[in-house]
C-alpha cells in the first residue's frame, strides 16, 4: 500500500530500502552525514522535510523534521511537490535535477557532493522504489 511522500512512514520505508540494498552500501561506503530532502507545495510556505542519517552505506535513522532540524544536515535539497514526484517516478539523477533547476541545493557545496554522485542516485532510486502517494495541498 502506498505511503504518503515525506511522511514518517515513508522515511522509515526509504531507510529500510537503503539498508537492504547492497548496491547502495557499495557506492555509499565513504559517505557520512545527514541529508535532508524538503518538499514545498510550489505556491505557499507549506513544506515537508525528511532527514536521513547516513553512515558508510547505512541509514542509521530517517525521520520527518521541521525547519530548525535542517541545521543538522550536511546537504539540504529542496523542490516543489511536482518536481519530487517526477524525480522519484523516473529515478532521475539528482545532479541532473539540480542542473535543470527542478530541485535546489539550499545547504552544502555541490563540489563536495560530486564524489557521491552514484550514492545520491541510488538514494533517489531507492526512494522511488517505495510505494508512494503525493497528497495534494
Domain spans, the chain: 3-126
Q: Tens of pLDDT along 34-44?
A: 999 999 986 66
Q: Residue 66: what pLDDT?
A: 86
Tens digit of each residue's pLDDT (9 = 90 or more) over 74-128: 999 999 999 999 888 887 777 788 888 999 999 999 889 889 989 988 998 999 9
Give the β-pairing of 75-80 and 103-107: antiparallel
For residues 37 and 78, give the distance between their C-alpha atoms in angstroms, rounded to a whole number: 6
User: Residue 46 in 3-state DSSP?
Assistant: coil
What's the CATH number for 3-126? 3.30.1050.10
Whole-number Å distance between alpha carbons of 9 and 3: 7
Classify the C-alpha dihedral 88-9-33-102 as positive or negative: positive
Whole-angstrom distance, CA of residue 83 vs CA of residue 118? 20
Task: Give pLDDT, residue 130.
Answer: 94
Q: Could you count the other beta carbons within 10 Å of the beta carbon of residue 48? A: 20
pLDDT in tens, 13-34: 999 999 999 999 999 999 999 9
Predicted model pTM: 0.90
pLDDT, tens digit (0-9, with 9 covering 90-100), for 37-87: 999 986 666 789 999 999 999 999 999 998 888 988 999 999 999 999 988
Amino acid at each position: 500500500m502506498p505511503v504518503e511522500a515525506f511522511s514518517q512512514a515513508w522515511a522509515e520505508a526509504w531507510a529500510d530500502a537503503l539498508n537492504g540494498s547492497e548496491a547502495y552500501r557499495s557506492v555509499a561506503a565513504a559517505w557520512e552525514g545527514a541529508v535532508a530532502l524538503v518538499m514545498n507545495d510550489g505556491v505557499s510556505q507549506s513544506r515537508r522535510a525528511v532527514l536521513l542519517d547516513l553512515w558508510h552505506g547505512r541509514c542509521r535513522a530517517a525521520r520527518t523534521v521541521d525547519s530548525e532540524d535542517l541545521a543538522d544536515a550536511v546537504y539540504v535539497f529542496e523542490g516543489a511537490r511536482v518536481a519530487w514526484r517526477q524525480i522519484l517516478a523516473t529515478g532521475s539523477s539528482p545532479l541532473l535535477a539540480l542542473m535543470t533547476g527542478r530541485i535546489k541545493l539550499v545547504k552544502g557545496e555541490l563540489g563536495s557532493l560530486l564524489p557521491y554522485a552514484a550514492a545520491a542516485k541510488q538514494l533517489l532510486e531507492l526512494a522511488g522504489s517505495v510505494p508512494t502517494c503525493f497528497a495534494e495541498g
